[in-house]
Amino acid sequence: MRFAFSTLGVPAMPVDQVVLLASEHGYHGVELRASDEGPVHTGLSAGERARVAEQFAKAGVEILTVAAYAKVAAPGDDGPVLEEIGAAMTLAADLGASFVRVFPGGGDLPAAEADELAAGRLAAAAPIAGDLGVRVLLETHDSHRGGADVARVLGLVGHHAVGAIWDVMHTWLAGEQPSATYPVLAPYLGYVQVKDIASATETTPLPLGAGTLPLAETVEVLSRAGWDGWLCWEYEKRWYGGAAELAGLLDAGREHLVRLLVESA
Q: Which pLDDT belongs to residue 145?
A: 98
Q: Which pLDDT belongs to residue 8?
A: 82
Give the model confidence (pLDDT) of 121-150 as tens digits.
Answer: 999 999 999 999 999 999 999 999 999 999
Give the model confidence (pLDDT) of 156-198 as tens digits.
Answer: 999 999 999 999 999 999 999 999 999 999 999 999 999 999 9
The answer to whether 126 touches 161, Cβ cutoff 8 Å, is yes
Q: Which pLDDT belongs to residue 242?
A: 87
Give the number of other CB atoms < 10 A from CB of residue 47.
8
Q: Which pLDDT belongs to residue 46?
A: 98
| CATH number of the domain that residue 194 is part of | 3.20.20.150
* Cα–Cα separations (whole angstroms), residue 161 to 6, 95, 97, 130: 22, 17, 13, 5
Residue-number span of the structural domain to which 151 is assigned = 2-264
Q: Which pLDDT belongs to residue 9?
A: 82
The answer to whether 76 touches 109, Cβ cutoff 8 Å, is no
* Cα–Cα separations (whole angstroms), residue 209 to 9, 180, 217: 18, 21, 12
Instruction: Count structural domains, the chain.
Output: 1
Q: Which amino acid is at 115?
A: D
The answer to whether 154 touches 163, Cβ cutoff 8 Å, is yes
Q: Name the pTM for this structure.
A: 0.97
Q: Which pLDDT belongs to residue 202?
A: 96
Q: Which pLDDT belongs to residue 238?
A: 87
Q: Which pLDDT belongs to residue 234?
A: 96
Round to the nearest angstrom and report the end-to-end CA distance of the chain.
Answer: 12
Stated length of the chain: 265
Q: Look at the alpha carbons of 118, 124, 127, 131 in this order and tell me if their dihedral is positive or negative.
A: negative
Kindly give the parts of the chain with pLDDT less than 70. none
